[in-house]
Amino acid sequence: MAGRADPPEGTPEGVPGGGDDEYRSVVFDESFVRAARIQEFSAQERLGGTASAVRTRRPLGWMGAGRQALVLVLLIAMAFGVALYLGIRHPYRPATPADVDPARITLVPLAPQVPVPVAAADRMFAAEDAAHYRVGAKGIVLPQINGTDHFSQSQVLQAVTIAKEYLAASSLDRSALTGGDVRAVRELLNPGQLDQFDRSLAHPVDDGQYAAIGWLVRFDPARIALADPGVRVRGSMTVNEDGPGGLLVDTDHTMVYAVRAVGAGPDQASLFTVRRQLKLFFDRADLRNRQVEVEQAAVEAGPLACTGNPAGYFRPLLAGQSVPAGAGVDPYDHGRPVTSVCGLLRTVPSPSPIR
C-alpha cells in the first residue's frame, strides 16, 4: 500500500526521484529520429533468430537509377507500340483496299459537219431532242427493282441508287462541271481505284485508262462557262447479277449542256452533248460502304475537233466555230493512241418524245 509520500499515480515527472531520471542522459535529437530506419523482421528472420534487428538498404546509386530509367523507357515504348497497333487496326477504320481492276476508258469526239449554231437564250433547247429531256437528276430514272439469285431486292435497289448518285455527281454537279471540287465523285469510288482517279486528274492522257473526262464531265474553266445550270438528261439503267459475288449496273445516258465562252454574253450560247455508257460493279463490300467500281466508261461528246482535245477537260467548239479544214484521224500517226477516234455529229436532230 502506498504511503502518503507515494501518490497513486507515482512520482510526478520533474520531481527528484521520478522514474525517468535514469533515462535523462539519453537524448534523441531530431536528426537522429529522422535517420532511424525501422525494419520489421521477416518470418524467416523471426524463426532463425540470427538476423540483425535492422536490415540495411543498399543505396540505389547510378546503376539502380539506370535500370529504372531503362524500365521506364521500355514501358513507354510498349505503350506507344500498343497505341500504334490499335490505331492501325481500329475497328471502324476501313480495311486495306482489295485489288480492283482499273477502269477502261474510251473517248470519241464528235466533229460537227457545219458551223456550230447559236442557241438562243429564250429557246435554248427547243430545236433539239433535249427539249423533251428532263432536267438534272430527274432524268436519271431507276429501273424496275427485283431481287436476284444471290442478292435481295433491297441490295439491288441500293446498287442502282449508288449508280444514280455517281452519275449525278460526275455529270451534273456544278462544281465538278466547272473544274472545281470533285470530292463528291471521289468519295463514291472504291478505294482500289482512287490512285487511278487521282492520276487521271493530275496527269490526264487519252490512253484508255487515265483520261479525266472518262470519270466525269468537266469543262476547261479558263475557256468555257455554263450558260444554263439546268442540264438536260435522258437515258436508261439495267442491273444484272455478275455471278454470286456481285451486281453489274449498265447505264446509258445522254446529257445536253448549254455552254458559252468565258466572258461571252447569253446570246452566244451553244449546246454540247455527251453520251456516257458506264459499267459499274458492286460487290457486297461496295454496297455496305456505299461505293462503286467503274469497270468501263465509253464517252461520245461533241461538237469537238477531232484532234487537240485534252483528256483533262472538254473544250467544245462554240457558236460559229467549225472543224478546221483537213482535220481528221491520221492512221499513220503513231504518236496518237489508237483509243483516240473521231466521229461525225448529226447535223439535223429530230425531236422525239420521252419514254
Strands 104-112, 293-302: pairing is parallel
Q: What is the pLDDT of residue 200?
A: 96
Across residues 243-263, what is the average pLDDT?
Answer: 93
- Per-residue pLDDT reduced to its tens digit, 265-288: 878 899 999 999 999 999 999 999
CA dist., res. 218 & res. 116, Å (int): 20
- Per-residue pLDDT reduced to its tens digit, 292-336: 999 999 999 999 998 888 899 999 999 999 887 655 666 666 766
Q: Are 111 and 302 spatial neighbours (Cβ–Cβ below 8 Å)?
A: yes
Classify residue 130 as exposed, middle or buried by CB count within 10 Å of its CB (0-12, 13-18, 19+): buried
Q: Is the pLDDT of residue 175 over 80?
A: yes
Task: Count Cα neighbours of 32 within 13 Å in the Cβ-side half-sphere.
Answer: 4
Q: Is the pLDDT of residue 4 over 60?
A: no
CA dist., res. 314 & res. 217, Å (int): 8
Q: Is the pLDDT of residue 113 over 90?
A: no
pTM: 0.69
Q: Is the pLDDT of residue 209 over 70?
A: yes
Q: What is the pLDDT of residue 31?
A: 63
Q: What is the pLDDT of residue 95?
A: 44
Q: Are 132 and 352 spatial neighbours (Cβ–Cβ below 8 Å)?
A: yes
Q: What is the pLDDT of residue 168?
A: 97
CA dist., res. 66 & res. 60, Å (int): 9
Which strands make up the sheet holding 104-112, listed edge to edge?
A: 134-135, 224-241, 246-261, 270-283, 293-302, 104-112, 343-345
pLDDT band at 92 (very low <50, low <70, confident <90, very high): very low
Q: What is the pLDDT of residue 172?
A: 97
- Per-residue pLDDT reduced to its tens digit, 118-159: 887 666 676 556 778 899 999 999 999 999 999 999 999 999
The percentage of residues in the chain with a pLDDT greater than 70, rounded to a whole number, is 68
Range among 35-49, 66-80, 178-192 with highest mean pLDDT value: 178-192
Q: What is the pLDDT of residue 300?
A: 94
Q: What is the pLDDT of residue 247?
A: 96
Q: Is the pLDDT of residue 111 over 70?
A: yes
Q: Which three cell numbers stand for residue 55?
A: 536490415
Across residues 24-39, what is the average pLDDT?
Answer: 59
Q: What is the 3-state secondary structure (H, E, C) of the chain?
A: CCCCCCCCCCCCCCCCCCCCHHHCCCCCCHHHHHHCCCCCCCHHHHHHCCCCCCCCCCCCHHHHHHHHHHHHHHHHHHHHHHHHHHHHCCCCCCCCCCCCCCCEEEEEEEEECCCCCCCCHHHCCCCCHHHHCEEHHHHCCCCCCCCCCCCCHHHHHHHHHHHHHHHHHHHCCHHHHCCCCCHHHHCCECHHHHHHHHHHHHCCCCCCCCCHHHHCCCECCCCEEEEEEEEEEEEEEEEEECCCCEEEEEEEEEEEEEEEECCCCHHHCEEEEEEEEEEEEEEHHHHHHCCEEEEEEEEEEECCCCCCCCCCCECCCCCCCCCCCCCCCCCCCCCCCCCCCCEEECCCCCCCCCC
Q: Is the pLDDT of residue 20 over 90?
A: no
pLDDT band at 351 (very low <50, low <70, confident <90, very high): very low
Across residues 73-77, what is the average pLDDT?
Answer: 82
CA dist., res. 25 & res. 19, Å (int): 13
